Structure 1
Amino acid sequence: MKRFLLPIFFIINALAFKASAQQYVLSGRITDAKNQPISFASVYIRNSTYGTTTNEEGIYKFNLSPGTYDLIYRYVGYRERVQRVVINDKEERRDLQLEDETFQLNTVTLASDKRNADTAAAIILRKVIAKREYYLNEIKSYGCAIYVKGVQKLISAPKSLLKSGVSTVLDLDSNGRGILYQSETLSSFNYQSPDKVKEEMIASRVAGITPTFSYNKASDLGANFYNNIFTIEGLSSNGFVSPIAHNAFKYYNYKLVGKTVTNGRTIDKISLWPKGLGDHAFEGDIYIVEGDWRIYSVNLRLTNRTNKLNLVDTMLISQQYVAVQDSTWMPVSIQYDYSGKVFGFKFQGYYLGVYNNYRFNVQQKPGFFNGEILKIDTIANTKNEDYWVKTRPIPLTQQEARDYQKKDSIAAVQKSGPYLDSLQKSKNQFLILPYIVFGFTSTSRDNKDSLYVFPFNQTLFYNTVEGVGVNLKARYSTTSDDLKTFSISPAIRYGFGNKLFNANVQASYLYNPFNASQFFINAGSDVIDLNNVGTRSLFFNTLSTLLSNNNYVKYYRSEFLSGGYRRELSNGIMFNGSLTYARRTQMYNNSYNHIFKAKNREYTSNNPLAPPGTPADDRSFLFPQHEALTLNTSVKFTFDQKYITRPTGKVYLPSAYPTLTVNYRKAFSGILGADADYDFVSLDISQDKIRTGLLGYSAFKVNTGTFFTKKALYFMDYNHFLGNQGTTFDPTYIGSFHFLPFYQFSAPSFYLEAHYQHNFAGALLNRIGFIRKLKLEEIIGVNYLTERSNMNYSEAYVGLQRFVFRVDYGISYAGNSKYMQGFRIFYGIR
């Protein structure tokens, strides 16, 4: 308990979040020379790390104990001011006007041409770059309190949509304006060099429609321009070059605007802009402290025109540093301002972080940095309005306060029984078109119970083994108050061609969502793909069979009983184990219908190893009916596993390191009449989204394995691969092939497969003006497979991607001979 009380104590004291009889409010309004409010100006107490920021109306507020304070008022582009304030036994108001900062060039530079100003900027920047690594590694550890505020507004909307009721749903005025979203969080944040972070979110409040991207946690706003590459999650697949990166002169033009003296320090203002389109660089201004050669503040902009952004058209990043301890400077505030337009809707918003109460060289207990980067308190979202009035460091604007009140009132209504009944009826309404593709979901009004009916395109099917068939499947799940979840999924399948009925049920019980502890059991019978890693879905196999006579998928029947267990043994170590008993029977083609008869193409045998030209009604032998008792185990190691702990469970985040998976599979013979008898082991190393700075990201997978005993091995027990036949393919998994047949390369012995793919994320095409607007991502990749009976199969491909749409062209070789080449397409449906 003490571990949580300490950060709460710091937050309360740092931000004066808890008013008492000895504290009084200091407030005021900051304006410019024209009496216009200065939004988001920094106000902090000298020789402390206690500060705040004005709101959009230029208003600030402190809770202070009686005493004398020197307040520093500061904002980019304005002259810094220091004012002494005495707090006695009453509230104080101090309005202040900031003057425009005047930056002057020295006489020599003023009398010279532009190149001299550029040379002066270069001299300054080289000194800053020379000290970049020192400042990057100066602080070994620190802790602080952080307040994060987010607001998104709609500033205009198409009038035609406003008339259709959209304005009512979005709560907009007659001009299509209004607040769509508000959020605020209070957190304790800890850092340890080089990259360990831990945040404990004490309070959280959200109102409105959640935006497509969010930076609500402190680490989302952890901008550090002393790094060479600056990344903003979700904004771009590439990073952006810092203006003081070691190679910054390759990407930027600089110009010294001038110098000014503030509180005894000389501040240089330098304008910068990219040398060319597509350079993944900022434009704007950076302010440097002469002598120290450190960042004083930044005001930098990214645009869709230059940087090919996702979701927004512009992003403005403002950051201010202050001396918080001797010569130690840290950010006191950072702000991301954004704007954009989607389907005629114009929006703008910001995320603002205010840092307080820095503590350096914090000695944490062993195990404090355990991979948990964020822990959300169980009562974080239950704080009432009185709490927020006392604790938020930035006062709400009138518009924001009204919006909160309105949405709180709406939320109260939405919790009433009649409303919940009406909402449940509305959201559970059955609609034909969504059901066909996505299925149908019905939930209880408290969202603890749900029923999902699988989509129609997975229900009605055709294949040459079963003919026209029906595969009815549903899933019911229920979650208790203590977060335990039970799920059951019954299914029945009937083929009108072979007149065979199958039924099975799958059930699972998740009893601890904080370590993924789960039991599961499956029982019944089913028609199963001979390739156990998957080939084509029922939907795509139906299309290829009826439209082009390509009956790619080969089936067998299994009557089975299976049980298993999964659990995270320790952070980053996941165990899976299952035991299955099955009777397995070979199946044959029984139906040969088609819609379009393909020329020179006939259906193939359901025996995948039958030689080419074998008739479709082939009854050749693949395996006898037999029983198998099989143990499957795997242990997955995720190194440096990061995660978020929410009140509802644990959320795993991608690791910056490869994952290692060890699999062991054994078939026991002689028990319950089981015939299969083998031992198989494999090793898998893989990693997705390896960032490569400005050149996108890579992914790879290497998998190898062998059967070290195989006294009785059947085809479905071979090691199968994720191949592809047909024009469409699924590129969402790095371990897939483009042209590899589904069954012919399945391995009964040693194998090695390797995959590598790189997505340049527009780094190449981004430099071509008319193509840049398409925001295409360039992809290259290679796949490789070798085994004792099929040596050195390889593929190479190039592709273009936009959202979920992708087109690849590739070529494959079997040994030294060309095997196949052509196009492969993907459009989001698997």
Structure 2
Amino acid sequence: MNKPFRHKMYLVNSYMKRYLLILFLTLTASAVSAQQHLLSGHITGPKNELIPFTSVYIRNSTYGTTANEDGNYQFRLAPGSYKVVYRMVGYREKAYDVTIGDHDERLDIQLEEEIFTLKDSTAYNEKTDPGMDIMRKVIAARKQHMQEFKSYKATVYIKGVQRLISAPKGLMGETVSRQLELDSVGRGILYQSESLSEFNFEQPSKFKEITIASKTVGASPPFSYNKASDLQLNIYNDVFAINGLSSHGFVSPVASNALSHYNYKLVGTTVTNGRTIHKIQLLPNHKHSPTFKGNIYIVDGDWRIYSADLMLTKKNDNLNLIDTLNISQQYIPIRDSVWLPSAIQYSYNGNVLGFEFGGYYLGIYNNYRIDQTFPDKYFNGEVLRVDTAANIKTSNYWAATRPLPLTKSEARDYVKKDSAEAFHKTDVWKEVNQHKKNNINYFSYLIFGYDASSRDERDSLYIFPFLQTFYYNTVEGFGINAKVTYTHKVDDFHSWKITPALRYGFSNKLFSANMLGEYLNDPFHNSKFWVNFGSDVLDLNNVGTRSLYFNTLSTLLYENNYVKYYRSQYGGFGYQRELANGVMWSGSLSYSGRRQLYNTSFSKIRDVKNKEFTSNNPLAPAGTPADDQSFLFPTHQALSLNTSVAFTFDQQYITRPTGKFNLPSKYPTLTLNYRKGINKVFGSDVDYDFVSADISQSNIRIGLSGYSSFKLTGGDFINNHKLYFMDYYHYLGNQGTTFDPLYIGSFHFLPFYTYSTYGAFFEAHYQHNFAGSILNKIPFMRKLKLEELIGANFLTTRGNPNYREFYVGLQRLIFRVDYGISYTGNNKYIQGIRIFYGIR
């Protein structure tokens, strides 16, 4: 039996087992459901106002739910007697005895406002306020409460909704309203999501989430929290981040150093269910510090969190995308000594160009099982596994499973969008939509290229941007570089793509044609084969210099022909595969015939004073004329072997039905590289051995002060008997005002070819992004939401020791401006400004 067949049989058996398990669980759930009845009702306040998102749970259990936006709640209970508890911040907790018989029960609840009273009327003083003493006790007990349990399992339901509340009439035409499915005044639900997961946690920070069911309709928002792991808000941690909305963290009100950031005011005290609860107002020491406003509720004696109602604002906290964010969290006793969240909610609103929107993400935690024993190696880096049937659950399944009822508008939205989705799967819609989707947008094509796909989206075509198609350089003159990628999806696990390219230089009349083919055969191990062959005009610096677009501009406008080219006729193949979690191996073998090229064209749009084109020989002395044909290397053949192994420590990943997706690690990645020039095989002229190692990590969060990134690389040619300039070790340098800061291993001012070496070298790069923590303290700069950066780059080689760069920068979204200075040895080399605006 061959290996592909065995693999397919394994997948079939695996799927059969999963579907049988799902069928068994469904039948079991149906049997249990038949023995349960619905407890439902409506929750209002003392003035009959609806109270949304009230927590409802069964006392002395870990089973509960939350009311929806309209104050309606429901959950299923087996026949028996229960003590049902209703809790909402600002209202007095109520508990009712409920008996479930052989039919559904309805219990409408009217909550009373919680009255917090002070024992005396002493005026507030931050040094004497009893709130300070209470919070000192809470902070002292913080670690104890974090370590009350070793592990747990829980069932987590996540609900997300985003609404458009109002829109400017001038921008809300019929087409826009129809596209967003809004009403006549520009209101409607833009997005809904639901998920049901099993969440497994072990101290101090190991977790694995298994998504059982997931549903999403509408346009995806720019930020989302639709997984249980997204809503793991632990107020007992010192710092926690609001991913997607802020680039810096926020100090918890009970952090170990919270007294340096907050003052606390005791608003009042009440007694609930025999417990004394203190309401503490949070008073940040500084208006624009990375802290929360709001209230936190503390259990007297235990000095633990009862609930929290926190707030962040765009004005004070530099939030992105939204104006306000409210965070609400309710804790319930799982055991007398263990309290865990029953519900967590993020609610937000914002305004963009007059479009006012709002929404929420709500997490409901049920069926806690404390101090679970997990199998060995259960926490193996897989932090999320999505069940194969998670995205195909029926509306009947969700109606029986979701712990809170849909509002009328949410139900209507589901019906409308589910119907639309069903229609979008018809051949009629696919035919219409294909023509619409494949219409070309010429402005987009200019910068980003053009995409087209077949009706079933198994076949797609990408045409590279116009800015990369037409070019000019002094070697080829004006030229055309026509390049497309065709992709075919065989099935969920296999796909291939080919990228043919045609290139022609009108000055040197050199025609090139080449092709790259890739076959992705195992998405669960990031495995793929590739082969390439043909002819091309290549950069002598094999790690890249300037794009065709930027080199065209600098050459024609400023007579800076930075990039140096050579001719290559080549063929090669390679393979990569993840050998184990966090261990990625790749290898390739290539053969090429290479020859030197010379400048043949000297066109320019304008004359630049005291400026001349330079030779295509990067090692030619300064002042060498542009038409120079000095010798750099002879025409030769090269057979080269490349291999590398990357070790990502504590690699975390997501497993979906279509493959494995690695996540950024909180630990560095170590990469070992080996390259060999093989001599006297197929006439190969090269003979060298090169080894290098690098260690790197990005986005290392440094408390409240932003995040750092670094890369260290060292290597040597242990054999350099025979090699040519393109075989040297090259660096990602930069010449010109624009630069690309997206890769931490790049330089700001280093020439592209001057430091290239066939000997030992060491380079180091470090950058820190303060994420606005400095400029946020300056009133007139705060509104700009700029992120401040500092960084340094270092390089030393045998011939050019101790090259250094230091820089500072400002960044906003894709825009960045840096000012820096560089040194060669003890001498200042270059200083100036470098800019980036999203185009590379």
When the two chains are superposed, the root-mean-square deviation of aligned CA atoms in Å is: 1.8
Residue 56 (structure 1) aligned with residue 66 (structure 2): no
2:439 maps to what in 1?
Answer: 429
Instruction: Kindly provide the CA deviation profile for residues 215-236 of structure 1, in whole angstroms up to 9, marking residues without a partner as x.
Output: 0100100000100001111111
**Kept in 2: contact 1:33–1:99 (CA 8 A):** yes
2:93 maps to what in 1?
Answer: 80
Instruction: Kindly provide the CA deviation profile for residues 736-792 of structure 1, in whole angstroms up to 9, marking residues without a partner as x.
Output: 111000000001100000000001011000011111000011010000000000010
1:671 is aligned, of 681, 697, 706, to: 681
Alignment of 1:65-144 (within 5 A): 65-107=78-120, 110=121, 112-115=122-125, 119-144=129-154
**Kept in 2: contact 1:11–1:188 (CA 8 A):** no
Residue 299 (structure 1) aligned with residue 312 (structure 2): no
1:485 maps to what in 2?
Answer: 495
- Aligned with 2:129: secondary structure? helix
Offset of residue 60 of structure 1: 0.9
Instruction: Kindly provide the CA deviation profile for residues 444-493 of structure 1, in whole angstroms up to 9, marking residues without a partner as x.
Output: 11211101111111111110000111111111001112420110011111
User: Cα gap change, 1:151/1:202 in structure 2, threshold over 3 Å: closer, same or farther?
Assistant: same
User: Which amino acid in 1 is paired with 2:115?
Assistant: T
**Kept in 2: contact 1:756–1:781 (CA 8 A):** yes
1:368 maps to what in 2?
Answer: 378
User: Which amino acid in 2 is paired with 1:42?
Assistant: S
TM-score, scaled to structure 1: 0.98
User: For the residues of structure 2 that align with 1:623 and 1:667, how far apart are their CA atoms?
Assistant: 16
- Aligned with 1:182: secondary structure? strand
- Aligned with 2:734: secondary structure? coil
User: For the residues of structure 1 that align with 2:586 and 2:225, how far apart are their CA atoms?
Assistant: 34
Which 4+ runs in 1 deviate beyond 4 A?
A: 1-14, 16-19
1:172 maps to what in 2?
Answer: 182
User: Which amino acid in 1 is paired with 2:100?
Assistant: I
User: For the residues of structure 2 that align with 1:786 and 1:381, how far apart are their CA atoms?
Assistant: 54
User: For the residues of structure 2 that align with 1:233 and 1:3, how far apart are their CA atoms?
Assistant: 37
Once the two structures are overlaid, the 10-residue window that deviates more, 422-431 or 781-790, is: 422-431
Offset of residue 277 of structure 1: 2.9
User: Which amino acid in 2 is paired with 1:255?
Assistant: K
**Kept in 2: contact 1:155–1:346 (CA 8 A):** yes
2:8 maps to what in 1?
Answer: none
User: Cα gap change, 1:214/1:677 in structure 2, threshold over 3 Å: closer, same or farther?
Assistant: same
User: For the residues of structure 2 that align with 1:248 and 1:670, how far apart are their CA atoms?
Assistant: 69
User: Cα gap change, 1:327/1:17 in structure 2, threshold over 3 Å: closer, same or farther?
Assistant: farther
Offset of residue 324 of structure 1: 1.1
Instruction: Kindly provide the CA deviation profile for residues 772-813 of structure 1, in whole angstroms up to 9, marking residues without a partner as x.
Output: 000011010000000000010000001111111111110000
User: Cα gap change, 1:344/1:358 in structure 2, threshold over 3 Å: closer, same or farther?
Assistant: same
Residue 33 (structure 1) aligned with residue 46 (structure 2): yes
User: For the residues of structure 1 that align with 2:107 and 2:619, how far apart are their CA atoms?
Assistant: 86
1:570 maps to what in 2?
Answer: 580
User: For the residues of structure 2 that align with 1:266 and 1:749, how far apart are their CA atoms?
Assistant: 73
Residue 522 (structure 1) aligned with residue 515 (structure 2): no
**Kept in 1: contact 2:265–2:283 (CA 8 A):** no
**Kept in 1: contact 2:148–2:337 (CA 8 A):** no
1:455 maps to what in 2?
Answer: 465
Once the two structures are overlaid, the 10-residue window that deviates more, 398-407 or 357-366, is: 357-366
**Kept in 2: contact 1:628–1:668 (CA 8 A):** yes
User: For the residues of structure 2 that align with 1:422 and 1:352, how far apart are their CA atoms?
Assistant: 37
User: For the residues of structure 1 that align with 2:176 and 2:354, how far apart are their CA atoms?
Assistant: 13
Once the two structures are overlaid, the 10-residue window that deviates more, 351-360 or 18-27, is: 18-27
1:610 maps to what in 2?
Answer: 620
2:734 maps to what in 1?
Answer: 724
User: For the residues of structure 1 that align with 2:440 and 2:176, how far apart are their CA atoms?
Assistant: 23
2:611 maps to what in 1?
Answer: 601
User: Cα gap change, 1:223/1:52 in structure 2, threshold over 3 Å: closer, same or farther?
Assistant: same
Offset of residue 693 of structure 1: 1.6
User: Which amino acid in 2 is paired with 1:269?
Assistant: K
**Kept in 1: contact 2:132–2:263 (CA 8 A):** no
User: For the residues of structure 1 that align with 2:635 and 2:111, how far apart are their CA atoms?
Assistant: 87
User: Which amino acid in 2 is paired with 1:453?
Assistant: I
**Kept in 2: contact 1:277–1:767 (CA 8 A):** no
1:633 maps to what in 2?
Answer: 643
User: Cα gap change, 1:228/1:763 in structure 2, threshold over 3 Å: closer, same or farther?
Assistant: same
**Kept in 2: contact 1:430–1:440 (CA 8 A):** yes
User: Which amino acid in 2 is paired with 1:661?
Assistant: T
Structure 1: where are the runs of 5+ without partners? none
User: For the residues of structure 1 that align with 2:225 and 2:712, how far apart are their CA atoms?
Assistant: 35
Offset of residue 414 of structure 1: 1.2
- Aligned with 2:230: secondary structure? helix
**Kept in 2: contact 1:117–1:255 (CA 8 A):** no
1:182 maps to what in 2?
Answer: 192
2:395 maps to what in 1?
Answer: 385
**Kept in 1: contact 2:489–2:496 (CA 8 A):** yes
1:20 maps to what in 2?
Answer: 33
Offset of residue 7 of structure 1: 11
User: For the residues of structure 2 that align with 1:814 and 1:137, how far apart are their CA atoms?
Assistant: 53
1:234 maps to what in 2?
Answer: 244
Instruction: Kindly provide the CA deviation profile for residues 527-559 of structure 1, in whole angstroms up to 9, marking residues without a partner as x.
Output: 000001100000000000000100000001111
**Kept in 2: contact 1:18–1:390 (CA 8 A):** no
1:338 maps to what in 2?
Answer: 348
1:752 is aligned, of 754, 757, 762, to: 762
TM-score, scaled to structure 2: 0.96
User: Cα gap change, 1:619/1:463 in structure 2, threshold over 3 Å: closer, same or farther?
Assistant: same
**Kept in 2: contact 1:474–1:490 (CA 8 A):** yes
- Aligned with 1:551: secondary structure? coil
1:195 maps to what in 2?
Answer: 205
User: For the residues of structure 1 that align with 2:620 and 2:443, how far apart are their CA atoms?
Assistant: 41
User: For the residues of structure 2 that align with 1:186 and 1:613, how far apart are their CA atoms?
Assistant: 69
User: Cα gap change, 1:684/1:17 in structure 2, threshold over 3 Å: closer, same or farther?
Assistant: farther
User: Cα gap change, 1:17/1:119 in structure 2, threshold over 3 Å: closer, same or farther?
Assistant: farther
User: For the residues of structure 1 that align with 2:600 and 2:301, how far apart are their CA atoms?
Assistant: 85
2:834 is aligned, of 799, 824, 828, to: 824
Q: What fraction of aligned residue pairs are identical, expressed as a percent?
A: 60
Residue 475 (structure 1) aligned with residue 485 (structure 2): yes
User: Cα gap change, 1:10/1:744 in structure 2, threshold over 3 Å: closer, same or farther?
Assistant: farther
1:685 maps to what in 2?
Answer: 695
User: Which amino acid in 1 is paired with 2:212?
Assistant: I
Residue 555 (structure 1) aligned with residue 555 (structure 2): no
1:698 maps to what in 2?
Answer: 708
User: For the residues of structure 1 that align with 2:476 and 2:23, how far apart are their CA atoms?
Assistant: 68
Offset of residue 9 of structure 1: 12
2:743 is aligned, of 729, 733, 737, to: 733
2:273 maps to what in 1?
Answer: 263
User: For the residues of structure 2 that align with 1:86 and 1:7, how far apart are their CA atoms?
Assistant: 33
User: For the residues of structure 1 that align with 2:19 and 2:254, how far apart are their CA atoms?
Assistant: 39
User: For the residues of structure 1 that align with 2:435 and 2:357, how far apart are their CA atoms?
Assistant: 32
**Kept in 2: contact 1:333–1:352 (CA 8 A):** yes
1:659 is aligned, of 666, 669, 675, to: 669
Instruction: Kindly provide the CA deviation profile for residues 310-349 of structure 1, in whole angstroms up to 9, marking residues without a partner as x.
Output: 1111110000001012221010000000110111100000
User: For the residues of structure 2 that align with 1:114 and 1:764, how far apart are their CA atoms?
Assistant: 31
- Aligned with 1:552: secondary structure? coil
User: Which amino acid in 2 is paired with 1:194?
Assistant: P
- Aligned with 1:546: secondary structure? helix
1:590 is aligned, of 600, 619, 626, to: 600
Structure 2: where are the runs of 5+ without partners? 1-13
2:809 maps to what in 1?
Answer: 799
User: For the residues of structure 1 that align with 2:436 and 2:371, how far apart are their CA atoms?
Assistant: 55
**Kept in 1: contact 2:309–2:328 (CA 8 A):** yes
Offset of residue 10 of structure 1: 13
Instruction: Kindly provide the CA deviation profile for residues 136-184 of structure 1, in whole angstroms up to 9, marking residues without a partner as x.
Output: 2222211100000000000000111223521111111122111000010
Once the two structures are overlaid, the 10-residue window that deviates more, 386-395 or 425-434, is: 425-434
User: Which amino acid in 2 is paired with 1:56?
Assistant: E
User: Which amino acid in 1 is paired with 2:436?
Assistant: S
Offset of residue 3 of structure 1: 11
User: Which amino acid in 2 is paired with 1:204?
Assistant: S
